[in-house]
Structure 1
Amino acid sequence: MLEAQSYEVAIGITYEYIYVKSSNVDQISKATFLFLHGFPSSFHCWRHQIEYFSKQGYGCLAPNMMGYGKTYSPLDKDEYKTKTMVEHLIALLDHLGLDKVVVVGHDWGVRPASRFVLYYPERTLGLVLISVGYRPPAKLDLDQALVISKKAIGYEMLGYWKFFDSDDAATIMENNADSFIDLAFTSEPIQWKTDLAPLGKIREWIENGKKANQASYMTEDDYKTFRQYIVVGMQPKLNWYKSAITNVDWNDEMSLDPTIKRPTLYIGGTKDYICLIQAFATQKQYITDLKVIELEACHWIMEEKPDDVNQVINEWIKGIL
């Protein structure tokens, strides 16, 4: 893996990142990708994309988001405002002399990725959403969402959020990291439908130290890296959920124009039982230029099917630049 660097994006706020500069081909500098990871991952999850696109001359910038690695990781959930994170990313781009980027988000990385395009369309060439589609600014009522999903699909799609929001979740997860990893990266994605999503199930799984066969698309070293991020402190990572539940972004976003005016690619996994492709069917109303690709994969699409993901993004990017 490339050597990580750090930069102070604001007073007392440092971001850790990996960066490969774009190379000039025929005097034309290729675009740079800004890769934003989700929960409970890190910039490590983009290793396949960085290797592939950097070899083709594209620039690749992958920060550890707030709560991860050596990036600023406050314990106050109210600091996890998306607008603030976008400002941090703009400061990082300015530091590296990058004018416009293609923003790529996975999982929770989709929140800052999509807002980046809303707040700074002039700094973006396009947007790639992986696993999670675009949701326009809106207030969240978690309890209502749980009732609606139970009625619609037979289980609470976001039931695990209740556990993540509890005061003891971080300690339980740190103390039972292997059990959590087994469920997060199970070789049987259907287990998310039975043991992760429904209310109370993930607590039951982790507290009882349950085990599952881990997915084969990750190496032993990948799992070690993943584990290191979990045992060094879960609370800052869980603050992404806590801040969303308390609608920390609403004051910033209530007057935002929700329309995305940049070319957008959404890649969804047909074996993702939490971020269901059909749950994002309405995103096309808010995106002027949207391409949707479905891959037979679980939630961790870019790790399970890196070649397919890279090929899809590569074809799409050539069409928009």
Structure 2
Amino acid sequence: MDAFEKKTLKISRGYTYTYYTSEGDRSLPTLLFCHGWPDHAEMWKGIAERLMDTKFPMIIPDMLGYDGTDKPTDPAEYKWDAMTKDLIDIMDTEKADKAISVGHDWGSICAARLYNYYPERVVGCVFLNVAYTPPSRERFDPADMNKMAEQAFGYGTLHYWEVFAAPNGGEILNDNIERLYPLLHAVGDAQKRYYCVPGALRQHFNSNDPDPEIRPYAQDPKFRQEFIDRMRRDGFDAPQCWYRAFKDQQHLCDKDLPEGRDKVDVPVLYIGAKDDAACRVETMYPAIQQGWLPQLDQKPALDAAHWTPYEKPEEIARLVKEWLGKNYAK
């Protein structure tokens, strides 16, 4: 992240965030990037550097629980109303009045919630891989979601939550970092076989079965070692709180939002991926059918899997640049 200025800020609820900025043209809205699990601000480097010539200011935080940012292990600290306020604190410090919230994985939901909670501050959204998820007003049960997915797709998409949202999920992943890495970045249908089959993750971690082949971008030894070193240093206890918070119904803070906030009435760009078995592009259909995204620009699915910012940064940057030019040209 050498092209960006690294900063830290103690936000209003007491946690310290690390984030990176690019000054840009302050008459343009700020691109606010929200990474997901189990990443950090560095994930956006390949995209953000390619967007610097657009002159849009940028803020790229390590999200709560990751890398240079504090890592509470109480799931209650990961409520949407609290984490979106953290981002507003950063925006206010950087004098960024308006933002285009950009997210991947859990960061896509956080980017959406930033609009849901602060529509006066967000003038656009970009969602990568994870489709728009409206505010949550009902209890969440992964088993119910798996039943719905089985009816729609023939398999449950959230079986990996058996490990990820378990009370000891962080411990399990801490003990299996090297075995986890190839499962994140595997070729073909491996994501479906390990993430979308009951018990498959635990079985693999407890076996001597060979790891799947990994995608070209993840074959870089430096990329692999940096991930392993970072997660050995920081652990998974805090990152898994993003899952545990949802399973513990902390998301029901959304019930206090007005019903009209479900509609994202600003330009939205969605980019999915063909080989993302857990986060299928079809999950965007309900939002379209409900009229929640009246200004949606959905691109054809990329020939990639879940970690599109690593696998297709040039293509994503090009699509985002075109979308910015169409919607925010001066």
Quote how far apart the aligned CAs of 1:23 are: 4.1
Residue 175 (1) aligns with residue 175 (2): yes
Residue 296 (1) aligns with residue 295 (2): no
Residue of 258, 269, 273 corresponding to 2:273: 269
Give, in whole Å, the separation in 1 of the partners of 2:6 and 2:175. 28
Give, in whole Å, the separation in 2 of the partners of 1:280 and 1:77. 27
Give, in whole Å, the separation in 1 of the partners of 2:135 and 2:102. 19
Q: Which stretch has the larger CA shift, 267-276 or 145-154? A: 145-154
Normalised by the length of structure 2, the TM-score is 0.91
Structure 2 residues not aligned, in runs of 5+:
none
Two-structure CA RMSD over aligned residues (Å) = 1.7
- Counterpart for residue 198 of structure 1: 197
Contact 1:101 / 1:125 at 8 angstroms: preserved in 2? yes
Q: How many residues align?
A: 316
Give, in whole Å, the separation in 1 of the partners of 2:154 and 2:225. 35
Q: What is the one-letter code of the residue matched to 1:190?
A: D
Quote how far apart the aligned CAs of 1:183 are: 0.3
Give, in whole Å, the separation in 2 of the partners of 1:18 and 1:270. 31
- Counterpart for residue 217 of structure 1: 217
Give, in whole Å, the separation in 2 of the partners of 1:111 and 1:314. 21
Q: What is the one-letter code of the residue matched to 2:325?
A: K
* Deviation by residue 1:34-92 (Cα, 9 ceiling, x = unmatched): 00000011111101112111233222211011110121211111111011111010010
Q: Which stretch has the larger CA shift, 87-96 or 47-56? A: 47-56
Give, in whole Å, the separation in 2 of the partners of 1:226 and 1:185. 12
- What SS class does the counterpart of residue 16 from structure 2 fall into? strand
Q: Which runs of 4+ in 1 moved over 6 A?
A: none
Quote how far apart the aligned CAs of 1:163 are: 1.3
Quote how far apart the aligned CAs of 1:99 are: 0.9
- Counterpart for residue 64 of structure 2: 66
Quote how far apart the aligned CAs of 1:287 are: 1.1
Q: Which stretch has the larger CA shift, 216-225 or 73-82? A: 216-225
Q: What is the one-letter code of the residue matched to 2:273?
A: G
Give, in whole Å, the separation in 1 of the partners of 2:75 and 2:189. 31
Contact 1:68 / 1:229 at 8 angstroms: preserved in 2? no
Percent identical pairs in the alignment equals: 28
- What SS class does the counterpart of residue 98 from structure 1 fall into? coil
- What SS class does the counterpart of residue 309 from structure 2 fall into? helix
Contact 1:264 / 1:290 at 8 angstroms: preserved in 2? yes
- Counterpart for residue 314 of structure 1: 321
Give, in whole Å, the separation in 2 of the partners of 1:197 and 1:76. 27
Residues 206 and 4 (structure 1), Cα distance of their counterparts in 2 relative to 1, 3 Å cut: farther
Quote how far apart the aligned CAs of 1:254 are: 4.8
Q: What is the one-letter code of the residue matched to 1:261?
A: D
- Counterpart for residue 226 of structure 1: 227
- Counterpart for residue 158 of structure 1: 158
Quote how far apart the aligned CAs of 1:313 are: 0.6
- Counterpart for residue 280 of structure 1: 284
Q: Which stretch has the larger CA shift, 289-298 or 138-147? A: 138-147
Contact 1:41 / 1:229 at 8 angstroms: preserved in 2? no
Q: What is the one-letter code of the residue matched to 1:117?
A: Y
* Deviation by residue 1:10-48 (Cα, 9 ceiling, x = unmatched): 242111111111147xxxx44321000000111111011
* Deviation by residue 1:84-138 (Cα, 9 ceiling, x = unmatched): 1110100101111111111101000012100111111221221000000111123
Normalised by the length of structure 1, the TM-score is 0.93
- Counterpart for residue 132 of structure 2: 134
Q: Which stretch has the larger CA shift, 209-218 or 37-46? A: 209-218
Give, in whole Å, the separation in 2 of the partners of 1:90 and 1:19. 15
